[in-house]
Structure 1
């Protein structure tokens, strides 16, 4: 179901999911969505039983750990438990690379979801791309 992106086609599938969720649904400008960290990030893609790409996320090195970013699931596949499975997979991959300190900028509407996975808030709410976010951290 979830795999580390290893080919240009897989990466394009991940970008298409992000464009659908962040650019089309949430109004993030495309030039801000695809950023300077694409080449250093470890990207993950999820394919369903029909081999349709439906979920993505990435992580990249940050200080003494990693930053998890760009978690996106297409609308037709939400509320089915895939978000938890995706996060668990990302955490497993990060841990297998020796990372134990995880950080992410959660959209406030998803804060309870990340809290249910053991993430705790740090600092104050801030705006990013006109969407309220909060830093959340977890040690694994």
Structure 2
């Protein structure tokens, strides 16, 4: 899988399609919560496999952190280390932008995945869009 920053409207549409499949269709997140006001200013990423978008995410800068958001992989492509590649690219961009800390709100079922990538849980469990989450941070070296 190749991970790249979204540069065109077509690529952004592909990212939204992946997010809609994963979050709206699969996880029943209301579309008005999934696509929000932050999408206009965020840096978007897509993961391409044989030219097809199979992963998506977005990155925003909030306070002292690069905030990783909307990280998703199409169901049939999970468990193949694509999420790890997506996170690595996002962390690379965070460092390029002069930040040294990353933050994300992880769905609790994915907490171990992020922990293995060096993220540490810093919050109690909370509900976002009807799904249990925790906040996690990582110092980037």
Match of 2:124 in 1: 124
- CA distance in 1 between counterparts of 2:8 and 2:123 reads 37
The answer for the alignment partner of 2:95 in structure 1 is 95
Cα distance in 2, alignment partners of residues 137 and 65 from structure 1: 9
> Which runs of structure 1 show a deviation greater than 2 angstroms over 4 or more consecutive aligned residues?
none
**1:3 Cα offset (Å):** 0.7
Cα shift at 1:101: 1.2
Displacement of 1:123 in angstroms is 1.7
CA distance in 2, matches of 1:67, 1:114: 14
Task: Note if 1:6 corresponds to 2:7.
Answer: yes
SS in 1 for 2:118: coil
State the 1:76 CA deviation.
1.4
Following the alignment from structure 2 to structure 1, what is the Cα–Cα distance between the partners of residues 29 and 123? 23
Aligned to 1:60: 60
Secondary structure at the aligned position of 1:89 is classed as: helix
State the Cα deviation string for residues 58-91 of structure 1 (Å, max 9, x = none): 1101011221100000011111110111111111
| Residue pairs, 1:1-140, within 5 angstroms | 1-48=2-49, 50-140=50-140
Question: SS of 1:19's equivalent?
Answer: helix
Give RMSD over aligned pairs. 0.7
Structure 2 gaps of 5+ residues are none
- 2:3 and 2:81 mapped to 1: Cα distance? 13
TM-score, length of structure 1 as denominator length: 0.97
Say how many residue pairs are matched.
Answer: 139
Q: Give the Cα–Cα distance (whole angstroms) in 1 for the partners of residues 46 and 85 of structure 2.
A: 12
